[in-house]
Amino acid sequence: MLTLYGRPNSSNSAKVFWLLDELGADWRLEPAGRGFGPTDTPEFREMNPFGKVPVLKDGETVVWESHAILRYLGTREPTALWPEGAAARSRIDRWMDWAAISFTPPLTRLRKARGAGGSGEADLPAVLAGARALDGWLARHRYLAGGDLSLADIAASPSVHRWFRLPEAAEALPNLARYRDDLARNPGYCRHIRDALS
């Protein structure tokens, strides 16, 4: 059985919960992270030197970094979510990197700034540019990597969900809204992302 150290209100854990359920994996949650369980113990730091969740344990194999975990699980149990072949994987991987590097960080800073009473002005342009680019792409593609749900959609899902919680989402981005509605037909998205993340 797989063990996932994480917490239900963590966006990076939530992506992995969704994939584990999507794969029908045999797994259990070991509650860890802020408010759920210590990550500053020598044992936890031996697994992840940064003391962050999620961390996956598969027998002797330990994996941290949520997107590395998604790729590990996708490779361990091949499905259309992470199809074989360099070209097919690169179509997915680029969106995973883009979400992790270019879209989620300014969105997270914006949310934190506003949560602390600020405007988040410094990060708003990057967030808007990301959402508009997504909208343009999704006018021509049902999912991020093409016609099928993939690890790219799971990786980007917390930020897509959180975009729609911003007042700026009232701006008409119809293709992004259609995409969010398509994701919401997936029970794993609803359970672990839509209904679990603020």
Ligand X SMILES: N[C@@H](CCC(=O)N[C@@H](CS)C(=O)NCC(=O)O)C(=O)O
Chain residues that interact with ligand X, rule: CB under 6 A:
10-12, 33-34, 39, 52-54, 65-66
To the nearest whole angstrom, how small is the minimum distance from the Cβ of residue 177 to ligand X?
25
| Cβ neighbours for 51, distance < 8 A, ≥ 6 positions apart | 39, 40, 44, 45
Our CB check for ligand X shows the closer of 138 and 152 to be: 152
Edge-to-edge strands, sheet with 61-64? 27-31, 2-6, 55-58, 61-64
To the nearest whole angstrom, how small is the minimum distance from the Cβ of residue 196 to ligand X?
12
Our CB check for ligand X shows the closer of 145 and 197 to be: 197
Our CB check for ligand X shows the closer of 106 and 135 to be: 106
Asked whether 103 and 157 are in contact (CB, 8 A), the reply is: no
Asked whether 154 and 15 are in contact (CB, 8 A), the reply is: yes
To the nearest whole angstrom, how small is the minimum distance from the Cβ of residue 9 to ligand X?
8
* H-assigned helices in the chain: 11-22, 42-47, 66-76, 86-98, 104-115, 124-138, 151-163, 174-183, 187-188
To the nearest whole angstrom, how small is the minimum distance from the Cβ of residue 50 to ligand X?
7
Our CB check for ligand X shows the closer of 9 and 175 to be: 9
To the nearest whole angstrom, how small is the minimum distance from the Cβ of residue 27 to ligand X?
17
**48: its two tokens:** 């992840």
Our CB check for ligand X shows the closer of 56 and 149 to be: 56
